[in-house]
Amino acid sequence: MRSVGANARRKEGPEKVGGTAQYIDDYDIPGALFGVSVRSQVPAGRIKAVHFDPAFPWQECVVADARDIPGQNVVRLLGDDQPLLADGVIRHPFEPVLLVAHPDRATAWRALKHVRLEVEPEEPVFTMEDSLAKKRVIWGEDNVFKTITIKKGDCAAALAAAPVVVEGTYSVPHQEQAYIENQGMAAWFEGETLVVMGSLQCPYYVHKALQPIFALPPEKVRVLHCVTGGGFGGKEEYPNMLGGHAALLALKAKRPVKMIYDRLEDMLATTKRHPAVVRHRTGLTKDGRLLAQEIDIVMDGGAYMTLSPVVLSRGILHATGPYECPAVSVTARAVATNTPPNGAFRGFGAPQTLFAIEMHWEKIAAVLKKDSLELRRANAVKIGSVLATGQVLKESVSAAEVLEKTVKRVGWDKTKKAHARWNADAKKPTLRGLGLALVHHGAGFTGNGEDYLKSRAGVAVDRAGRVRVLAGSTEMGQGATSTLAQIVADALELPYDAVSVERPDTAKVPDSGPTVASRTTMVVGGLLRRAALDLKTALEAGGKLRGPAAFKAAAKRLCGTAPERRFLADYHRAAGSSFDDKNYVGDAYGCYGYAACAVELEVDKATYEVKLLRVVTAQDVGKAVNPGVVEGQIVGGSVQALGWALLENCVYKDGALQNPRLTDYVIPTALDVPDIDVIVVENPYSNGPFGAKGVGEMPMDVPGPAVAAALLAATGVLFTFLPILPERIQEALCSQEAA
């Protein structure tokens, strides 16, 4: 009967496989108009006038601008600096200025060609360097959204005394989430209540964002989740904007409005991964033990703050890697540029800084003439290690285990020797290399984030003994619905099929926090397990439950005359854990997951194309509630990371993406990657449900640096950036030959 640890059938699987699942654009909403956005074409300027072509039938349309907003013109999030619609000032290309709705979708799209914005251009700021230099101040007093520092020991003194000091600079680019379903939302009013439905990750984010825009109390806003075709962070905060747009048109039209982006608009206008530049200065002993880490991080937030401060927070907390160092000094800044705002993306700042530290180990290994594997072995954290924030690792520390399992599976020494023989043969058409990376990833919100969320989740039982999961956590392909049902089923000692999951709807489920940060299984699953155990205790007040009939009888007795009973659990921080948000001291996360990855590849000597031969990864998830789901997450995240490393190239000009189509923004397919060899490690976490930790983001952290390390082994070139395209390999090798 036990569900946890079994490959239970996905709850939403039959509908998706059978084609009956309803995504937002599948809903035929009676009387609905179709909405589109009129966007700026310049990166910075002031709107002088809006010209409407008199030849177009505007009388058939509904047009809304900032003047139609009944409340505040703001997309509420962290800084409340982003307007729902530009009101006189343009701060990035494709910023929304006007909204148009028409009963016919094609006519609505055609309307965009008949509106012209007259804008007086201003000097834009496109790069992090120009932003920090205050070429023009475009945000606040210095263009800096957020600055965070972490200090441990006397880093300056330790660097001055270190026998070896190694410096390096590493950079990573934008990345497009490339979810299969584009952004889409619909809105209408039911009396005085605003109802918004769409493809989204965080119903209560949208719920909170809409209240100030429409000057409505919480009980007058309702948000429903549709079947969602992928998110990867791209549907964390952006639906706040799109939901507001659809709702504003619905308010003015007094009819429902649906807004669905095409791929072009989605890629041009919505958030991407934050680009970053990370500088390392590291002090070591001659045998490679860490003495000091001085790190500087700069991330490009784009034109508005969005989630940049918390992306920066996770980035800085992972910047030192899963290694113990006695003296640390890290500074991190997120800056403004006149480019579309960047936001959440799987990994949320950690992949950027982990790429840098892992590549820096490769540089250190070259300076010391040592194997980077041995350096990682010597410095990796273990039970009792103290991180840069002063957090002492007390349990579930698997850095060494995932490293050794990966190295053993890939045959590290044997494979490297085989590559040396291969590369020594000038007749071979390719060069081969093997690379390695080791990472950690904090599960749940950073620092006191979970305390601020005050998450609540629960279960309901009706008179017939039917059990439902009540949570705002959304299913977007990652298997959350099934995993949460398995946790509740085991807590109640019920069959998996006896537990259903309520559709996320702010009128029906409590706010269990956003579906982000690798927190759903660990945090929300933990709340649900507690609530289920409370329900079980109440049911057993009349005696031990023995079988389905006894369960139903107990449920009927418990409900009495009520149709159902609900049991809710609230989040509480683990005893003995604390974090100082101001000084970044203390327990940044309840626990960490650990992952290692080895990549074997070859480079064509004529075309410089890279072929992946083998990818092996070991990842500690605490407990695999559903092993199939966990493996799917690891494989999917690994493929996404391999794309970021080798294929995905966001090309920008004048602040605008130049390749906003999946024909020229290339993402990996099944033909681009080998079967990924996954080793699931289970080192239980005492505060996770059945020992589970997070898994969703960690697979994104580790393949990128492993690929770059493998290319170093193959070519002798240390690539300090991503993506590593064939033309960049050619340039590096030709420069090497010329030297």
Under the banding of pLDDT at 50, 70 and 90, the label for residue 324 is: very high
pLDDT of residue 554: 96
Read off the pLDDT of residues 74-88 as tens digits, 9 standing for 90 and up: 999 999 999 999 999
Average pLDDT over residues 304-318: 98
Q: Cα–Cα distance between 66 and 70 in angstroms, integer?
A: 9
Cα dihedral 355→358→361→366 (10° resolution)? -70
Chain-wide mean pLDDT for the chain?
Answer: 97
Distance CA 163, CA 210 (A): 57
Summarize pLDDT for 589-606 with one digit per residue, the tens.
999 999 999 999 999 999
pLDDT per position as a tens digit, 713-723: 999 999 999 99
The tens digit of pLDDT for each residue in 23-67 reads 999 999 999 999 999 999 999 999 999 999 999 999 999 999 999
Rounded alpha-carbon distances, angstroms, from residue 75 to 147, 184, 266, 412, 594:
22, 17, 18, 50, 36
pLDDT for 739 beyond 80? no
- For residue 159, the surrounding DSSP H or E stretch is helix 155-161
Cα–Cα distance, 490 to 1 (Å, whole number): 8
Contacts of 192 (CB under 8 A, 6+ apart): 220
Sign of CA dihedral 627, 631, 637, 638: positive
Q: 689 and 418 in contact (C-beta within 8 Å)? A: no
Give residue 258's pLDDT. 98
In this predicted structure, the answer to whether residue 123 has a pLDDT above a threshold of 80 is: yes
Record the tokens describing residue 228, joined without a space. Answer: 């969602």
The number of CA neighbours under 13 Å toward the Cβ of 657 is: 28
Q: Side-chain half-sphere of 479: how many Cα atoms within 13 Å? A: 24
Domains of the chain, each with CATH number or no CATH: 13-21+455-570 (3.30.365.10), 31-122+181-269 (3.30.365.10), 276-445+584-738 (3.30.365.10)
Count Cβ atoms within 10 A of the Cβ of residue 667 and give its class: 0-12 exposed, 13-18 middle, 19 or more buried: middle
Distances (CA, A) of 230 to 391, 438, 515: 34, 27, 12
- Whether pLDDT at 334 is above 80: yes
- The string of pLDDT tens digits covering residues 435-472 is 999 999 999 999 999 999 999 999 999 999 999 999 99
pLDDT in tens, 175-190: 999 999 999 999 999 9
What's the pLDDT score for residue 503? 97
- Give every CB contact of residue 675 below 8 A, 6+ residues apart in sequence: none
Predicted confidence (pLDDT) at residue 671 exceeds the cutoff of 80 = yes
The per-residue pLDDT for 282 is: 98
pLDDT in tens, 234-287: 999 999 999 999 999 999 999 999 999 999 999 999 999 999 999 999 999 999
Q: Which of 396, 585, 475 is nearest to 181 (CA)?
A: 475
The Cα 247–Cα 257 span in angstroms is 7
SS (H, E, C) 25-50: HHCCCCCCEEEEEEECCCCCEEEEEE
pLDDT at 738 over 90: no
Please say if the pLDDT value at position 1 is more than 80.
Answer: no
CA distances 653 to 14, 179, 219, 506, 641, Å, are 44, 24, 44, 41, 24
How confident is the model over 518-547, as pLDDT tens digits?
A: 999 999 999 999 999 999 999 999 888 888
Widest CA span in the chain: 86
* DSSP element (H, E) containing 260: strand 257-260
Average pLDDT over residues 333-360: 98
pLDDT at residue 101 tops 70: yes
